[in-house]
Amino acid sequence: MMQSRGRLFVISAPSGAGKSTLIDRSCRELPNIWHSISATTRPRREYEEDGVHYFFMERPRFDEMIARNEFLEWAHVFEECYGTPAEAVDARLAGGDDVIMDLDVQGALQVKRRRAEASLVFVMPPSLDELSTRLEQRATETGEDAELRLSRAEEEMAQSHQFDHVIINDDLDVAFQELKKIILNHRGEVDSP
């Protein structure tokens, strides 16, 4: 019997809303789901590993990948470049795994244009105040970088109507159950408690 192709899920959210937390949990708790690893020119955070969290690279290498048409999508985000290498995503989908991608809104909409079957999920913070608190607690960006992320949040939230699903990440467990349901529904599986 032919193995069925995996499905594509794109998760977007203002920085600090909790998408990495939700994606990590999906990958830990759900079988056959793979988190796509993006390329980026932004500096590595202390806890991040090259090839695990991102492929960290200088701008010339990123530009070469653009020129070779290796990205499924790419965008300028917070003054750095981020892109999804297409080959690994397609290999996983062909092998039957679902692929979950963590992209900014521009990237999510590019994917929808190129892969109409992709499911776009937007994660909303309960409020801008709470978003600011979470960014402060995460403490990976300070000063101007944190300000830049917050100032982009409202713009991104205004585009959430272009997504197939919107999840409010107030209580993490509730938000995760909603995401799990979306993923399992697309797989045609029944969600057991």
- What are the angstrom distances between the C-alpha of 148 and each of 79, 85, 135, 142, 190? 10, 26, 11, 10, 41
**Which residue in 5, 115, 138, 187 binds ligand ADP (CB under 6 A)?**
138
Q: Is 35 in the site for ligand ADP (CB under 6 A)?
A: no
CB closer to ligand ADP out of 5 and 42: 42
134 near ligand ADP, judged by CB under 6 A: yes
Whole-number Å distance between alpha carbons of 114 and 117:
9
Residue 20 in contact with ligand ADP, rule: CB under 6 A: yes
Q: Would you say the C-alpha torsion 14, 99, 61, 73 has a positive or negative sign?
A: negative
Binding mask 75-114 for ligand 5GP (x = CB under 6 A): x-xx---xxx-----------------xxx-xx-------
- Binding region for ligand ADP (CB under 6 A) out of 2-10, 32-40, 89-97, 132-140: 132-140
β-pairing, 80-85 vs 8-12, is unpaired
Burial class, 87, CB count within 10 angstroms (exposed 0-12 / middle 13-18 / buried 19+): exposed
Q: Which of 130, 134, 147, 166 is nearest to 20 (CA)?
A: 134
Q: Provide the token pair at 25.
A: 């949990």
Choices 70-78, 117-125, 157-165, 182-190 (CB under 6 A): range interacting with ligand 5GP: 70-78
Q: State phi, psi for 188 to the nearest 5 degrees.
A: 75, 20
137 binds ligand ADP (CB under 6 A): yes
Binding mask 16-45 for ligand 5GP (x = CB under 6 A): ----------------------x---x---
Site for ligand 5GP, rule CB under 6 A? 15, 38, 42, 73-75, 77-78, 82-84, 102-104, 106-107
